[in-house]
Amino acid sequence: MYITTTIPYVNARPHLGHALELVQADVLARHHRRRGEPVRFQTGTDDNSLKNVLAAEAAGVPVRELVDRNAAAFEGLRGPLALSFDSFIRTSTHPAHREGVERIWRETGHDLYQRHYEGLYCVGCEQFYPEGPCPDGHEAPLQRVSEQNWFFRLSRYQDDLYALISSGRLRIEPAARRNEVLAFVAAGLDDISVSRSAARARGWGIPVPGDPAQVVYVWWDALANYITALNDGGGGDYERWWVREPSKVHLVGKGVIRFHAVYWPAMLLSAGRPLPTAIFVHDYLTADGRKISKSSGNAADPAALVRAYGTDAVRWWLLREVPRVGDADFTEARLVARADEDLANGLGNLVSRVATMVVRFLDGHVPEEGEPLAEVDGVVDAALAEFDFRRAALAVWTLVEEANRYVELARPWQQSPREREASLGTLVRTCRELAVQLEPFLPGAAARVSAAVGAGRLTRPEPLFPRHARPAARGTA
């Protein structure tokens, strides 16, 4: 499976919305690797945006300095978020990217033509709109732009795109997003501008082949990363992961679905290239009902949250609380409450109780294992196949709930030695299975659970998770 995220602009440091998509992609990658499947997980940054240029001007620093600094912050999320990506592409520095963009431009040349264009442009979205305000919530007024650009004959591919999506050959999940794309295509596709004035771009970006007065539109440039990072000019990676790979999955936010489900497949059809097989679409994270974004002033820093609460707490909130359909409102209080309730009080308490009872009653010797209290492998598989991370996380959590319920019902401390040994064997086996199932979601926590109930003689474990919330003040009698 070839798994990609979108590549964000680097006009500012990453926020929690970026972390959501990265963690979701990481879960998919780890899950499929655990099943023995070959996986390539790719992410990166979109360095060639006008937004980056304007941010550098506002900060009074060279564009290269700002781009390099913020791109490093995105790549630096690997450690704090426990990400396992195999490839990180930066569109301004990857040695094969510019050449690959130029190659796709030439391959689609039969669908490119020049035309004067005038319209309202949102710098935040890097796209034109027929009227304002920006439908994606950017507060800056739309700019009226009038210039000579290169256009792509998107209209030529309307029927092909509709057939591709409606047949499921290009799968879009959830279904509501698929229907949204189909309605957009059925309403009629206009040709799109795919270049910008080099003067308006301040000379930043990839020049249009044969027309240095224009730069390639940043979205055309950015979408190409999914194949340019594979050295699409030839070689094993492109052939292996784009031509022969049967499962090519893009994870994207709902605000950029049109680019990925309409413009990108049309580009590939025009170029005679293979197509992706699936597009998984997530909704937004909000704070006080407003989309978390770099321009809104509500951009929670994922690295700072990890420093305060730990990797497990941040990953778990993103996976346990964000629904498959609909936005999720974030507060630190909700993150803390979920971490304390599930991780410290639920999982941590379970493993501690089980290991402590093995030490107390069996001198740390693990009894012959029983069967786990629940089988969740199939449920997790089905949920992740539907891009439903919350349902998958809840399926794993049934092991915690069943085991805690079993402890209270069986009460091993009151059983006979033979009964107690059988009960503890069942609980140890369940905790070990929990470590296996938890690994794609919380790799660090899974390793600690495995160590606490692993092979050999058990000892009393240290607390697996901290408790973050202060206890309520108690009155005195």
Point out the residues that are catalytic.
15, 18, 122, 125, 134, 138, 291, 294
Backbone dihedral angles phi then psi of residue 149, each to the nearest 5 degrees: -130, 165
Contacts of 357 (CB under 8 A, 6+ apart): 412, 413, 420, 424, 427
- The closest alpha carbon to 67, from 84, 86, 54, 79, belongs to 54
Q: How far, in Å, are 160, 186, 252, 331 from residue 163 at the CA level?
A: 5, 10, 21, 42
User: With left for phi above 0 and alpha for psi between -120 and 50, is residue 272 left, alpha or beta?
Assistant: left
Q: Which residue has the tokens 């498959």?
A: 324
- The closest alpha carbon to 20, from 300, 382, 310, belongs to 300
- Cα(461)–Cα(448) distance, integer angstroms: 9
- The closest alpha carbon to 397, from 441, 453, 334, belongs to 441
Could you give the strand order of the β-sheet that contains 195-197, starting from the edge strand earlier in sequence? 195-197, 211-216, 207-208
What residue ranges in 294-417 does DSSP mark as E strands? 328-329
